[in-house]
Amino acid sequence: MITATTATNTTITDMFQYDFIQNAFAAAGIVAVVSGIVGYFLVMRGQTFAGHALSHIGFAGATGAGLIGLAPLWGLLGFTLAAGIAMGVLSERISNRDIAIGVVLSLALGFGLLFLHYYTSFATQATALLFGNVLAVDREMIATLAVLGAVTLVALAAIMRPLIFASLQPELAEAKGVPLRFVSTAFLAIVALAVSECAQIVGVLLVFTLMVGPPAAAQRLTGGLWSGLTLAAGLALGEAWLGIVAAYYTDWPVSFCIAALSALGYFAALGAPAWRRSADHANEAA
């Protein structure tokens, strides 16, 4: 006799008969963990707009790369890295930082439109770039994402201690000799790497889905740094994988499913009591 549980397990197992599903789970897993961890610091530092801007700036790089015959990922990566470093270097010189970022963002999107105008055959790839297409990821892309993810996490680990100090107590950190500009620049370069990876899964328009939603929910649910990082990565991973499952059985876009789960997770976390996060972070960083 076949029970309902057995039938469900068999149906879920059937998904993994397809190579594209296996690739999607592998790629989404790598990107979700990286996005959750990097996004945790992005939210903690209040730089989510900068992360959003980097993803859109990368769109211009990706379309430009297509115009000259390169893979979109490398154009996306190059533009976001350059923009992230520039934002970090100029962060202490520009008083109206968000205005400057907004102007650069608009200019970058304008260039993206110009590149598409001269290379119309790239339009289909541009749609995938904007909204993501994890089901089209191949083994080569998984390997690339794994390398980029490892580089991102190693770089983040290298600056984590001064980054935490500079994020929670910037005045004291500066007085203690922490190079705030270097830390800011290095962190935004790391964010650029994470954004480039995340865009391959959910698209440049929905980067917040994995880089902001899960970390923001984690910071509502736990007050510790390490528990927060673990929860952010876990939530991002769960939402990414459940999004793929939901898309498989509903035939809805994967990015929409992941975005919906991310929003539901954050709204559910809003009902949790606010914890004294800053004090806990400072204690763990000490």
Question: What local confidence, expressed as pLDDT, does residue 148 receive?
Answer: 95
Calculate the dihedral angle through the C-alpha atoms of 226, 228, 234, 239, rounding to the nearest 10 degrees: -160
Mean pLDDT by 10 residues, the chain (286 residues): 48 81 95 96 89 84 82 87 82 58 76 76 67 88 95 96 90 87 91 91 87 94 92 97 94 93 94 55 49
Length of the chain in terms of residues written: 286
Euclidean distance between CA atoms 155 and 70, whole angstroms: 26
Break the chain into its structural domains and give their ranges: 17-205
**Which one-letter DSSP state was computed for residue 121?**
G
Question: What local confidence, expressed as pLDDT, does residue 257 receive?
Answer: 94
H/E element holding 137?
none
Question: What local confidence, expressed as pLDDT, does residue 129 receive?
Answer: 76
Question: What is the pTM assigned to this prediction?
Answer: 0.85
Q: What is the CATH number of domain 17-205?
A: 1.10.3470.10
Nearest to 128 by CA among 84, 71, 191, 49: 71
Terminal-residue alpha carbon distance, the chain: 59
Euclidean distance between CA atoms 104 and 111, whole angstroms: 11
Backbone angles phi, psi at 136, to 5 degrees: -100, 5
